[in-house]
């Protein structure tokens, strides 16, 4: 087993410079695993983590601790979608992969003009540990440094960590700890973009007879009948959702299994023709992805008293269709 457990602090993203080069060198010196894990320079001075195991390959950006790619070796296509027009760094969110929405999901709940979906996805995270187990699974532990930049948005003391396990499945655990003397409330999501062959040949199975809030219809509560099909803009918050869902993709002839824990909310989103209004997405991009987000949102927000913690977990894997 190869293991590293030191912590390495990072700051805001500058233009790739001597300091960035040293940081990249130090990360590789501390955490690289020969032939399996390496830190490399990415777009706009982002530092990427490239992972290859016997099971799969993956790419993770230290900016936002955002998983950008996960592809089992036997799969012809990536499991995740990433827009070629994505922005990297400089306070911009990356369009695709698994963005982290925290400590609020959606628009600023206080209406103070704070960034949509919080600030966790727009800052560099620090790498704390990399482990390789006997089954050739790699686990990466990262934390969001709690610095003065956040105090204008969030005055509570916290620790936010993510554990990413890359193996036969992709498993993500987002851990929030309340280090403050006061209780605070969070909403959050793993805003996962799944690659599909053709959105009109895809359906989401597992939500029949579940209630949802329809954002395209003034958040009116509705009841899902049958599977979720995609024929127009879809933006829904499913309530008390089950722990397992299935994306059935006839175009790519595969099924994506989604298993969640620590969550009773699932957000399902595809912008349809509104993709043309997004600067980091081509007009027809909506045909190639669907977001199925493991979340704590709406009435499922999490209240954490001092000393308490909460773990939101999502695990994804591919199978063939029956």
pLDDT digits (tens, 9 = 90+) for 158-180: 999 999 999 999 999 999 999 99
Mean pLDDT of 231-256: 98
Mean pLDDT of 216-245: 98
Query: Is pLDDT above 70 for 312?
Result: yes
Separation of alpha carbons 51 and 61, rounded Å: 11
Cβ atoms within 10 Å of 137's Cβ, excluding its own: 18
Output the pLDDT for position 85: 84
Separation of alpha carbons 82 and 228, rounded Å: 23
- 204: β partners: 228, 247
Separation of alpha carbons 167 and 58, rounded Å: 10
Nearest to residue 257, comparing CAs of 173, 170, 321, 316? 316
* H or E stretch covering 30: helix 18-31
Output the pLDDT for position 6: 42
Query: Is pLDDT above 90 for 108?
Result: no
Tell me what percent of the residues of the chain surpass a pLDDT of 70: 95
Cβ atoms within 10 Å of 34's Cβ, excluding its own: 7
Mean pLDDT of 239-262: 98
Q: Please, which residues have CB within 8 angstroms of residue 99's CB and are 6 or more apart in sequence?
A: 64, 66, 93, 117, 121, 191
Q: Which residue has the higher pLDDT, 67 or 107?
A: 67
Q: Please, which residues have CB within 8 angstroms of residue 79's CB and are 6 or more apart in sequence?
A: 70, 71, 72, 170, 194, 195, 256, 316, 318
Least confident piece of the model among 8-12, 71-75, 197-201: 8-12
Sign of CA dihedral 87, 88, 93, 97: positive
Output the pLDDT for position 3: 44
Query: Is pLDDT above 90 for 87?
Result: no
* Mean pLDDT for all residues in the chain: 92
Output the pLDDT for position 151: 77
pLDDT band for position 243 (cuts 50, 70, 90): very high
Decide if 230 contacts 291 (C-beta within 8 A): no
Q: Which residues are catalytic?
A: 191, 293
Mean pLDDT of 225-245: 98
* Domains of the chain in sequence order: 3-319 (2.70.98.10)
* Structure-token pair, residue 53: 């195991």
* Structure-token pair, residue 72: 């089992």
Torsion angle (degrees, nearest 10) of CA 1, 318, 208, 312? 20
Mean pLDDT of 133-159: 90
* Structure-token pair, residue 62: 């230290």
Nearest to residue 80, comparing CAs of 88, 72, 69? 69
Output the pLDDT for position 16: 60
Separation of alpha carbons 76 and 198, rounded Å: 15
Output the pLDDT for position 294: 98
Query: Is pLDDT above 90 for 136?
Result: yes
Decide if 8 contacts 125 (C-beta within 8 A): no
Q: Which residue has the higher pLDDT, 298 or 87?
A: 298
Q: Phi, psi (5° rounding) for residue 211? A: -80, 150
Mean pLDDT of 48-73: 97
- 294: β partners: 190, 266
Output the pLDDT for position 15: 56
Output the pLDDT for position 114: 83
Sheet containing 170-178: order of strands: 3-4, 126-132, 138-144, 158-166, 170-178, 309-319, 254-261, 244-249, 202-205, 228-229
Cβ atoms within 10 Å of 232's Cβ, excluding its own: 9
- Helix count and strand count (H, E) for the chain: 1, 24
Least confident piece of the model among 1-15, 47-61, 85-99: 1-15
């Amino acid at each position: 087993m190869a293991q590293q457990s030191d912590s390495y602090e990072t700051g805001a993203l500058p233009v790739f410079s001597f300091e960035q080069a040293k940081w990249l060198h130090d990360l590789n010196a501390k955490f690289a695993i020969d032939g399996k894990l390496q830190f490399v320079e990415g777009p706009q001075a982002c530092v990427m983590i490239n992972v290859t195991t016997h099971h799969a390959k993956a790419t993770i950006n230290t900016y936002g601790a955002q998983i950008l790619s996960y592809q089992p070796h036997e799969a012809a296509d990536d499991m995740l979608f990433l827009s070629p027009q994505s922005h990297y760094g400089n306070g911009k969110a990356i369009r695709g992969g698994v963005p982290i929405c925290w400590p609020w999901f959606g628009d600023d709940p206080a209406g103070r003009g704070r960034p949509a979906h919080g600030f966790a996805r727009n800052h560099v995270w620090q790498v704390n540990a990399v482990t390789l187990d006997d089954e050739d699974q790699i686990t990466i532990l990262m934390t969001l440094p709690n610095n003065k930049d956040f105090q204008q948005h969030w005055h509570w003391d916290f620790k936010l960590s993510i554990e990413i396990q890359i193996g036969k499945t992709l498993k993500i655990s987002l851990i929030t700890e309340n280090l403050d003397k006061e209780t605070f409330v969070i909403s959050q999501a793993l805003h996962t973009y799944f690659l599909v062959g053709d959105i009109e040949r895809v359906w989401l199975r597992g939500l029949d007879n579940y209630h949802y809030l329809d954002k395209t219809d003034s958040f009116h509560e509705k009841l899902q009948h049958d599977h979720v099909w995609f024929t127009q803009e879809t933006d829904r918050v499913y309530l008390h959702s089950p722990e397992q869902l299935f994306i059935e993709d006839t175009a790519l002839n595969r099924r994506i299994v989604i298993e969640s824990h620590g969550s009773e909310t699932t957000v399902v989103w595809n912008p349809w023709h509104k993709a043309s209004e997004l600067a980091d997405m081509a007009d027809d991009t909506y045909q190639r992805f669907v977001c199925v987000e493991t979340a704590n949102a709406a009435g499922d927000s999490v209240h954490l008293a001092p000393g308490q913690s909460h773990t939101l977990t999502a695990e994804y894997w591919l199978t063939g269709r029956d």
